[in-house]
Every structure is written in C-alpha cells, then in structure tokens.
Copies of this chain bind each other. A is one copy, B any other.
Amino acid sequence: MSGYCRATYRCYDEKADFGKKAQGIAVGLTVGSWTDLPEARKAEMEKHLGKVVSVTEVPAAESPTGERYADIVIDYPDINFSRDIPALLVTVFGKLSMDGRIKLIDLDFSEDFLSAFPGPKFGIEGVRKQLGVENRPLLMSIFKSVIGHDLPNLREQFFRQALGGVDLIKDDEILFENPLTPLEKRVEACMAAAAEAKRETGQELLYAVNLTGPTFKLAENAKRAIRAGANALLFNVLAYGFDALAELARDPEIHVPIAAHPAVSGAIYPSPHYGIAAPLLLGKLMRLAGADLVLFPSPYGSVVMPKEENMALKDALTSDGLPLRKSFPVPSAGIHPGLVPLIHRDFGLDVVVNAGGGIHGHPLGTAAGGRAFRQAIDAVLAGEPLREAAKRHDELRAAIEAWGIKE
C-alpha cells in the first residue's frame, strides 16, 4: 500500500487469538489506543494507524516445528517514522521483539521510504566493471591468519593470494587497528603487492580493508583508507548498526565498494522463535543500506545456513523487486573447489566464490589454491565435469584429492 511499510511476523502461541494479537500490534505500535478515541479524533488519527493486512494461522499438526503459529502481516504508516532503518526497526520490532515468541520475517518498503536510500553504489554490475570481469563468478580470498603478523608477512600472504588469480581479497574481520599493521600502512603494503601480482596475472584486484574504530569516526577512517589506496572496504555491519552502513554508502567521498560481513548476525537470525530472519537481516536490509557485497554462511560448508533460507537471502540481494542496484551474494565458510558446481547451480553467474582454508590449505600452496578455484570455475562454465578438467590441471586435481567433489 502506498505510504505504508509492511512487516511480516511469525508468532508462536499455543492458544492466542492471533487476530486479536494482530490488532493489538497494529494499534499498540502506532496510535497507542483506538477504540477509546472520540470519533472526531479518529478521523485525525486514521492516517497514523497501523493496519492488519492478514493473519494466517497454522495449527500445530501442520507446523514444521510442531507448534501452532500465525504469520501476521501489518502495514505501518510512513508518516510515523523517519526515513532510516533504526526508526523502522524500532517501530515495527522495538517493544514487540520482547513480547513472547515472535520473529520478524520480512519487511516491504514503501516507495517514499525507499527514496531515502540510494542502495549499493556499485552493486554487481559496478563491481564487475571495476574488475573488468563480466562472464563468470568472482573469486574472493580471505587472509589465513593476520593477528600477530607484521607488514612484510601480510604483504607476502597478500601477494601469494593475488598470484592465484583471485578477484578480491578481504581482511580478516577480526583485524582491528594495531601497531603491527595499522590501517594506512596495511593498505599501502597490500596494494603494492596487488600491483606486483598484476604484472604477472594481468588481473585487477579489489582489497577490502576492514573498517573499524569509533562509530563517529568510521567515515573519516574510510576516507583515510581510500586516500592510502584502498579500493574496497570490509564492514562489520551488525556491530555498528545498519544506519552506519547506510551513511557510509551514501557518502560521495567513499567511492569504493563495501563488503558487509555478517559477524554477530548469528545472535539474531537462527532461532525459529525469535530474532530477524536471515533473508531480511543479511539480504534485504544489507542491500537497502548499501552493501555492494554481502557475506553469509553457505548451505555447503563448515558453518551452514539451511538451503531454503540461503536461496531466499540470495533473492533478496538480487531480485528485481527492489529499485536498487543488486548486491553480490558471497556464500562463505568451508568452501573448496569441489563445491563450485553446487555454488554455480544454486547461485548462477552472479556470485562470489569465497574461500580461506580452501585456498591457503591447498597441498601445493596458496597461489595454487587460487588457481584450482579458477580452474573449477572455468570447467563449470564450460559444462565440463571437474574430474575431467582435473586431468589437465595439477592444482584442481590436488584440490579434489584433498577435499573431494560434492554434487
């Protein structure tokens, strides 16, 4: 409905009158009280009143968890809140989040609300353009271990990753400002390594440096990193709030892609009864706030998210339903070359294959680890079984021997 943002909740209760509960939410989170208002006042207040759109009850016998629940859909008037994510979240799931077993499943934004969000500055197309790579999944590499390492060591790790033909390298999300590898020095050392590798690979490369520090200095730190040569940023969005990301993405001086890390999000999305569903938390809200790339646990690897949720998350990042640039999905954790066929089947071309151990742990070394992934990607795009391609490629063969193929 124009002028309203829509929230969908899943609410568990053995015996609640869900219709009454929905009315209570729609009134309680907007005008506060309704039936007691004089008629004249109702006419004035109507435009501030939340509206119950639907209540779909599911009895225990038909519920996946064996518990009775209802999906409740409510429209909230735009006029009640400012055009920012904290205001929307506090309105639709502030007090309500504490009121029993209820999970926020989805949000739909009004045109007017959306108009305040430019979304990703680069998105899938923009990131591809920066890298000059149009027709294949991208490959991202994660530093193996960075804490306690000095600049020469970091530079060397970076160089070996870059030699393997990766498109992006991201900092470890737990690397903060520190005397061994401070922000600007780190950027300079890694970008120098990128330039050196480019002379061998001929490839562009984005280095997503971890943006950390006090909230009110994030923009300044981002600009310091960019001045030092950073061509991408990594950001722990949940640790700072979605609005910090939105403001960074909105800042015209921060003209590099931002990769959103899902750190701490597991405190919010996995419970069936509480929290905010992953496709909303790591999908729609990240894209709205302006993440060009979004990392999240894949359904394949070591830290997993159920397949159905993962596909809904991908859709939220890439669907045409939102008038915003698309965010690159980066399914992560425990990824090795033998998973590339599955990743391609589920995510298509517009995906970033992201690996840490699957690159650094390669039997022939880090650079070979990157090459094995690139070989796997090429084989999959050519419709060639990995085992066939492995006959020609030592790196891919060694990877498959180490980790197998999952189909």
Contact = CB atoms under 8 A, between A and B. Distances in A.
Interface stretch (A58-66, A257-265, A338-346): A257-265
Interface stretch (A78-86, A118-126, A365-373): A78-86
B80 A239 contact: no
A32 B144 CA distance: 7
A48 B175 CA distance: 12
Interface stretch (A96-104, A106-114, A317-325, A392-400): A96-104
Interface in A195-238: 212-216, 218-219, 236
Contacts of A176: 80-82, 87
A303 B95 contact: yes
Given A176-B81, A275-B271, A97 B148 contact: no
Contacts of A243: 214-215, 239-240
B236 A94 contact: yes
A266 interface: yes
A398 B94 CA distance: 32
A244 B84 CA distance: 16
A276 B267 contact: yes
A102 B176 CA distance: 24
A274 interface: yes
Contacts of A95: 173, 263, 303, 333
A407 interface: no
Interface string A240-284: 110110010000000000000111111110110111100000000
Contacts of A99: 266, 303
Contacts of A146: 32
A45 B239 contact: no
Given A241-B240, A243-B214, A271-B274, A263 B82 contact: no
Contact of A267 (B32, B240, B275): B275
B84 A213 contact: yes
Number of copies of this chain that the complex holds? 2
Contacts of A84: 213-214
A230 B104 CA distance: 34
Contact of A174 (B79, B80, B102, B178): B80
B174 A81 contact: yes
A34 to B, nearest CB: 10
Chain B CB count within 10 A is highest, among A144, A172, A214, A264, for A264
A25 interface: no
A93 interface: yes
B265 A275 contact: no
A82 B218 CA distance: 14
A130 interface: no
A90 interface: yes
A54 interface: no
30 contacts: A30-B147, A31-B145, A31-B148, A45-B148, A86-B240, A90-B236, A90-B239, A90-B263, A93-B264, A93-B267, A94-B236, A95-B263, A95-B303, A97-B265, A97-B266, A98-B262, A98-B305, A104-B267, A214-B243, A215-B216, A216-B216, A216-B218, A216-B219, A239-B241, A240-B243, A267-B268, A268-B275, A271-B275, A274-B274, A274-B275
Given A93-B264, A94-B239, A267-B268, 16 more contacts: A33-B144, A44-B148, A89-B239, A93-B266, A94-B173, A94-B261, A94-B263, A95-B333, A98-B333, A214-B243, A214-B247, A239-B243, A240-B241, A240-B243, A241-B244, A267-B275
